[in-house]
Amino acid sequence: MTAPWSGPLEKVDNYRFRVPRRYKSCMRTDGLIYADERLLQLIKKDQAPEQVANVACLPGIIGFSMAMPDIHWGYGFPIGGVAGFDLQKGVISPGGVGYDINCGVRLLRTDLTVEDVKPRIETLTRELFHNIPSGVGSKGKIRITDQEVKKVLIHGARWAVENGYGWEEDLEVIEEKGSMAGADPGVVSKRALERGRPQLGTLGAGNHFLEVQRITDIYDREAAEKFGLDVGMVTIMIHCGSRGLGYQICDDFVKILGNVTRRYGIEIPDRQLACAPVESPEGRRYFQAMVCAANYAWANRQCIMHWVREAFGKVFGKDPRRLGMRLIYDVAHNIAKIEEHTFNGKKVKVCVHRKGATRAFGPGHPSLPPRYREIGQPVIIPGDMGTSSFLLLGTERAMQETFGSTCHGAGRVMSRHEALRKTRGRRLKEELKDRGILVMSASNKTLAEEAPEAYKDVEIVVDVCHKAGISKKVARMVPISVIKG
Q: Write a three-state SS string for 407-446.
A: CCCCCECCCHHHHHHHCCCCCHHHHHHHCCCEEEECCHHH
pLDDT at 51 over 60: yes
User: Count of domains in the chain?
Assistant: 1
Mean pLDDT of the chain: 95
When pLDDT is averaged across residues 227-250 and rounded to a whole number, the result is 97
CA distance 263 to 83: 23
Q: What angle do CA 86, 91, 96 make, to 5 degrees?
A: 110
pLDDT at 256 over 70: yes
**Residues taking part in catalysis:** 408
When pLDDT is averaged across residues 195-222 and rounded to a whole number, the result is 94
Domain that holds residue 420: 10-484
Rounded to 10 deg, the angle between the 121-131 and 281-316 helix axes is 140
When pLDDT is averaged across residues 358-365 and rounded to a whole number, the result is 98
pLDDT at 119: 97
Q: How far is CA 31 from CA 10, 65, 476, in A?
A: 10, 5, 31
When pLDDT is averaged across residues 334-338 and rounded to a whole number, the result is 98
pLDDT at 86 over 70: yes
CA distance 79 to 354: 9
- CA dihedral 263→269→270→274, nearest 10 degrees, is -30
Of the pLDDT bands very low, low, confident and very high (cuts 50, 70, 90), residue 418 is confident
CA distance 178 to 330: 8
When pLDDT is averaged across residues 433-448 and rounded to a whole number, the result is 84
- CA dihedral 317→323→326→330, nearest 10 degrees, is -60
Residues paired with residue 174 on neighbouring β-strands, in sequence order: 330
Does residue 4 form part of some domain? no
Does residue 407 form part of some domain? yes
When pLDDT is averaged across residues 224-246 and rounded to a whole number, the result is 97
pLDDT at 316: 98
pLDDT at 66 over 70: yes
pLDDT at 425: 60
**What are the counts of helices (DSSP H) followed by strands (DSSP E) for the chain?**
15, 19
pLDDT at 95 over 80: yes
pLDDT at 419: 79
Does residue 342 form part of some domain? yes
Digit-coded pLDDT (tens) for 1-42: 478 999 999 999 999 999 999 999 999 999 999 999 999 999
Digit-coded pLDDT (tens) for 401-411: 999 999 999 88
Of the pLDDT bands very low, low, confident and very high (cuts 50, 70, 90), residue 450 is confident
CA distance 64 to 138: 40
Residue 22 CA, distance from chain mean position: 32
Q: Binding site: what residues are annotated?
A: 100, 207-211, 239, 333-334, 382-385, 389, 408-411, 484
pLDDT at 205: 84
Does residue 95 form part of some domain? yes
> CB under 8 Å to 207, separation ≥6 — which residues?
239, 384, 409, 450
Digit-coded pLDDT (tens) for 120-164: 999 999 999 999 987 677 777 888 888 999 999 999 999 999 999
When pLDDT is averaged across residues 52-67 and rounded to a whole number, the result is 98
CA distance 288 to 321: 36
What single-letter amino acid sits at 69?
A: P
pLDDT at 204 over 60: yes
pLDDT at 431: 86
pLDDT at 447: 78
Does residue 83 form part of some domain? yes
Does residue 112 form part of some domain? yes
- Phi and psi at residue 46, to the nearest 5°: -130, -170
First and final CA of the chain: distance in angstroms? 23
Does residue 102 form part of some domain? yes
Q: Which of 196-210, 370-384, 445-459 has the lowest mean pLDDT?
A: 445-459
Q: Greater confidence, 453 or 334? A: 334
pLDDT at 424 over 90: no
pLDDT at 440 over 60: yes
Does residue 2 form part of some domain? no
Question: What are the start-end ranges of the E strands in 8-142?
Answer: 10-13, 16-19, 31-34, 61-72, 79-86, 91-92, 104-113
CATH of the domain at 190: 3.90.1860.10
Q: Binding site for Mn(2+): what residues are annotated?
A: 100, 208, 239, 333
